[in-house]
Amino acid sequence: MPGFDCIFFDCDSTLSSIEGIDELARRKGKFAEVKRLTEAAMDGEVHLQSVYDHRLQLLNPTHAEIKELEYLYRETVVPDASAVINALQFVGKEVFIVSGGLAAAVRPFGVWLGFPPQNIWAVNLRYNVLSGQWWDYQQDLWGQPLDVNYMNPETTPLIETQGKAQVIREFLGKHPRRAMLIGDGVSDLVAHSVVDLLVGFGGVMTRQRVAAEADVFIKANSLAPVVPLALSHEEQAKLFGTPHQAVLEKGQAILESTEAVFNRHYPN
């Protein structure tokens, strides 16, 4: 079976073990309320866009708080994330982050992991210097900023449950290639129809619907299985005798264990 050309990653609870918005809430003393909203959205109980505004209004984050969140992402990086990104790029794969998180924290974290900055798509917030508050957000799609008023969130793709599917569909429509997506939430599951393989990640949080409906579900707290899943046998052979062989072999061992579940036949 051929490998995949484009590998899309969620950020929160996939590349990092935290949900960024929840950590901002923890520092504001509003963790329980925001966590409840986040879980309801991630489990598909409510639409993501219905809680996005509400959470930001509750938290009103500052530049300093979002900068702190960037470093918290680094401190909580999921095991083998960097090694996986390096191995995929070694054999010429394109890697992307598609996240409903805040770009001011997600983008530098992604660059630190090795993602090209132009391949990191998240929600940009615009800061109002006069009020000292975050007052709207804009979506940065492939270097073309689209300003969206804060009071009209339904037109901003990545704050919607369908947002990741829309972003990936538009990209692949312009650049048709085999693609896989790795993520933990329902917004990732909704994008199932626009990629060739959906890998559910439960190493941080197991969401039962994702575990049941993803093509492959990883229970281990490691992203190493992404390497053998993404690469053909010929591409895997290119990693032998290199520093990337270790993450390939670790990923294969996890896939052959009870820490991975195949919900459909995958003959790679």
Give, rounded to a whole angstrom, the gap between the first and last alpha carbons of the chain.
5
pLDDT of residue 168: 95
Domain count, the chain: 1
How many whole angstroms separate alpha carbon 57 and alpha carbon 53?
Answer: 6
Q: Is residue 115 part of a domain?
A: yes
Contact between 235 and 91 under an 8 Å Cβ cutoff? The reply is yes
- Higher pLDDT: 244 or 101? It is 244
pTM to 2 decimal places:
0.86
More confident residue, 138 or 200: 200
The model's pLDDT over 80-93, given as tens digits with 9 standing for 90+, comes to 999 999 999 999 99
Provide mean pLDDT across the span 124-148: 46
Does residue 140 fall inside a structural domain? yes
Residue 126: CATH number of its domain:
3.40.50.1000
Question: What range defines the domain where residue 190 resides?
Answer: 6-262
For residues 125 and 254, which has the higher predicted lDDT (pLDDT)?
254
Q: Does some domain include residue 1?
A: no
Most confident of the following: 33-42, 47-56, 60-69: 60-69
Residues near 223 by beta carbon (within 8 Å), at least 6 away in sequence: 14, 15, 78, 79, 80, 81, 84, 182, 201, 203
pLDDT at 218 over 90: yes
Domain assignment of residue 267, yes or no: no
The pLDDT of residue 140: 39
Helical (H) or strand (E) element with 182: strand 179-183
**DSSP letter string, 9-36:** E--BTTTBSS-HHHHHHHHHT-HHHHHH
Sheet holding 216-218, edge to edge: 144-148, 133-141, 120-128, 94-102, 6-9, 179-183, 197-201, 216-218, 260-262
Closest CA to 141 of 105, 112, 174: 174
50 is written with which tokens? 């219905």
Does residue 27 form part of some domain? yes
Establish if 268 belongs to a structural domain.
Answer: no
Residue 155 confidence (pLDDT): 42
Report whether pLDDT(153) > 60: no
Round the average pLDDT of the chain to a whole number and report it: 85
pLDDT at 134 over 80: no
Tell me the range of 94-98, 127-131, 187-191 where mean pLDDT is highest: 94-98
User: Which band of pLDDT confidence, cut at 50, 70 and 90, is reported for residue 37?
Assistant: confident
C-alpha span between 121 and 123 (Å, rounded)? 7
3-state secondary structure of 263: coil
Structural domain contains residue 182: yes
Opening angle at CA 80, ends 74 and 81, nearest 5? 55
Task: State mean pLDDT over 147-170.
Answer: 62
